[in-house]
Chains A and B, each alone.
Chain A
Amino acid sequence: MTEGVISGGWEFVWAAYGITAAAFAIYGVTLVMRLRASRNHDH
C-alpha cells in the first residue's frame, strides 16, 4: 500500500449507493401509499 493513497473501499461505495437507493425507494413507496390513502379519504 502506498502511503497517503486509499486502496480498496468498495464496501463503502456500495453502502453509500445502497443507502441512497433504499432511501429514495422507501420514500417513493410511502408517497404512493399516502396518495392512495388521501384519495380514499376524499371518496
Chain B
Amino acid sequence: MRKGFGFIAFGVVLLLTGSYLGLFVAPAERYMGDVQRIMYVHVPTAWNWMLSVLFSLVCAIAFLARNNMKWDARLEASLEVSTLLAFLLCCQGAIWAKPTWGVWWDWDPRLTTTAVLLFATIGILALRSAVEDPTKRAIWSSVATIIAAVDLPIVYYSVKWWNSLHQMQSTPQTVSSAFHAPLRINAFGVLFLMIGFIMLRTRIAAARLERELAGPPVRIGEEAGELA
C-alpha cells in the first residue's frame, strides 16, 4: 500500500512542477493565447484515460483467460479511475471549447465517442454494484468491458475518419518545443497518480472480494443451534 501512496506523491510533485511551467513559464500560443495552457492538463488526462481503458481491457481478458479474481479486483479499480479521467476530460474539454469554439459542447465525433465510453464505464460500474454473486459479476463486467473497449480505437481515429471540429492528435513534430516540457512532465504526473489510485483501489476491491468469497461469519449461537 505504501507503494500506492508513493506513486501518488510522486505524481503530485510532477503535476505541480509541470503545471507551474505550463502556467507561468511556457509562452502563450500564437492564436489561442493563454487559453492553450489548458492543453497541459487536458492532453495528459486524455493519454492516461486511454491507457486506463486499455488496462481495463487487459484485466478483463486476463480474468476470462485465467479465472483469477485478482484480475477482477484490478478491473474494478481501473474502470473507476478510467471513469474519473473520462469525466475530467469532458469537463476540461468543455472549458477549452467555450473560448475557442464558442460552445461548451458539440456533438462532434471525438466528443461523442468519448462520452459514449464514459457512460459505458459508468454502466459497467453500476452493473458491478447491482450483481451480488462475485463470479457472475466478474464475468459479466469483463465481457461488457471488452465490448466497451471497441470504442477506444474509434475515439482515437475519430478525428482522422470524420470531419471533426476537434483538432488532430498532437505529436512532438506538430507542437512547438517550448510546449514539450510541461506537457511531458504533466503526462508522467497523471500517469503516476493514476497508477497509485489503481493500486489503492485494487486493494479495496480485493479486500471486499475476500470477504464475499469467505462467506458470512458464523456466530457461535447459530453454530450450536445447527449442531443441536
Question: Which residues of A are in contact with B by a Cβ distance under 8 Å?
Answer: 4-10, 12-13, 15-17, 19-20, 23-24, 27-28, 31-32, 34-35, 38-39, 41-42
**Contacting residues of chain B (48-77) with chain A, CB-CB under 8 angstroms:** none
Q: Report B153 CB to chain A, min CB distance, Å.
A: 26
A-B pairs with beta carbons under 8 Å apart, 26 shown: A6-B31, A6-B32, A6-B35, A9-B34, A9-B99, A10-B34, A12-B35, A12-B38, A12-B98, A13-B38, A15-B95, A16-B38, A16-B41, A16-B42, A17-B23, A17-B41, A23-B87, A23-B88, A24-B193, A27-B197, A28-B8, A28-B197, A34-B204, A41-B207, A42-B207, A42-B211
Is B203 an interface residue, CB under 8 A from the partner? yes
Report whether A9 and B91 are in contact in the complex, using a CB–CB cutoff of 8 Å.
no
Q: Nearest chain-A residue to B211 (Cβ)?
A: A41
Minimal Cβ-Cβ distance residue in A for B199: A31
Assuming the contacts A12-B99, A16-B42, A35-B200, asked whether A6 and B33 have C-beta atoms less than 8 A apart, the reply is yes
Residue B110 at the chain A interface, CB threshold 8 Å: no
Q: How far is the CA of A4 from the CA of B14 in the complex (A)?
A: 34
CB of B45 within 8 Å of the partner chain: yes
Since A9-B33, A16-B95, A41-B211 are in contact, a sample of 15 more A-B pairs with Cβ atoms closer than 8 Å, ordered by chain A residue number, is A4-B31, A6-B35, A7-B33, A9-B34, A12-B95, A13-B38, A17-B38, A19-B92, A23-B84, A23-B87, A32-B200, A35-B1, A35-B204, A38-B203, A38-B207
Q: Contact between A31 and B95 (Cβ–Cβ < 8 Å)? A: no
Interface residues of B in 94-138 (CB under 8 A from A): 95-96, 98-100
Which range holds the interface residue count of chain B?
A: 20 to 34
Cβ-closest chain B residue relative to A13: B37
- How far is it, in angstroms, between the C-alpha of A20 and the C-alpha of B19 when the chains are bound? 11
Could you tell me if B45 and A9 are in contact, using CB atoms closer than 8 angstroms? Answer: no
Is the pair B31, A5 in contact by a Cβ cutoff of 8 Å?
Answer: yes
Within 8 Å CB of A12, what residues of B?
35, 38, 95-96, 98-99
> Of residues 207 to 223 in B, which have CB atoms within 8 Å of A's CB atoms?
207-208, 211
Distance (whole angstroms) from the CB of B226 to the closest CB of chain A: 25
* Chain A: minimal CB distance from B22 (Å): 9
> Which of A5, A6, A10, A42 is most buried by chain B, counting CB atoms within 10 A of its CB?
A6
With a CB–CB cut-off of 8 A, which chain B residues contact A23? 84, 87-88, 91
CA distance A32 to B207 in the complex (A): 14
A31 contacts B200, C-beta separation under 8 Å: yes
